[in-house]
Amino acid sequence: MLENSLVYFLGAGAMAESMIKGMLAQGVVKPGQIMINDIRTERMQELQERYSIRAQGRLEQATIVILAFKPKDLVSALKSYKEQLHPGQLVISLLAGIETAQIERHLPPQTPMVRSMPNTAAAVGLAATAICPGRWASGKHLAIAESLFAAIGSVQRVTESMLDAVTALSGSGPAYVYLLAEAMQAGGVAAGLDSATAHALTVQTLLGAAEMLKVSGRSATELRQQVSSPGGTTLAGLQALAEYRFSEAVQAAILQAAQRSRFLAQIAADSN
């Protein structure tokens, strides 16, 4: 699908590097098909040397342009590149909180674009990414975006109205899991384990549970019930979580994060 494509990253931050690393590792593109541009010359040189990619090529030659700069730089960045962008390119946005309509205002008319919301697990090739089309994007454009993000994890197609919920669930989700891991490790230490052992057991438990959810074909509820024997230790622990309203707290966190995402998106819309 991308044999003759030239992928151009505007911005060279952590997410851009994760995508470059994943795309090359999965053979989606070759090093010569990737170009980067960033205001930090040393950062461009670093990635150029690490991945044998090109830096500061001609943007108008690109077939896919990935917006990987900071959201606050949207207007200034696209203004500086406006003469080099054209409707024959697919623009993919990594800009959190910036709606497709806002970006399209700063692109040439009828330029196809896809908005994305990956998460930080892209760094280890296990991102959960959601994508949605802009006004001019076709099914083919979505398929191209899917092929790129599949190199760093899983991809879901959603409507743009769902991206606040996506941000709250999978975008912020790693932090919820890290907090759970902190609490599990602290509980293990309180119960008598040394910190290193508690950490190792916590990490493997989370990995194993996630894999069970992925491959068993059973729901989270079914898997939980399977290990909750009447009168057993697991049920005792779950009862303690219920007393402290664990499920309600997690749901409240996601709803609160979604509300914050909507608020920040409105601020971004007003400023762009």
pLDDT (tens digit, 0 to 9) for every residue of the chain, 272 residues total? 788 899 999 999 999 999 999 999 999 999 999 999 999 999 999 999 999 999 988 999 999 999 999 988 999 999 999 899 999 999 999 998 899 999 999 999 999 999 999 999 998 999 999 999 999 999 999 999 999 999 999 999 999 999 999 999 999 999 999 999 999 999 999 999 999 999 999 999 999 999 999 999 999 999 999 999 999 999 999 999 999 999 999 999 999 999 999 998 888 777 76
pLDDT at residue number 124: 92
For 181-209, how does the pLDDT look when each residue is reduced to its tens digit (9 = 90+)?
999 999 999 999 999 999 999 999 999 99
Contact 202, 185 (CB under 8 A): yes
Contact 33, 8 (CB under 8 A): no
**Greatest Cα-to-Cα distance within the chain, rounded to the nearest angstrom:** 70
Q: Which residues contact 5 (CB under 8 A, 6 or more apart)?
A: 29, 33, 63, 64, 144
DSSP single-letter state for residue 32: G
Give the global pTM: 0.91
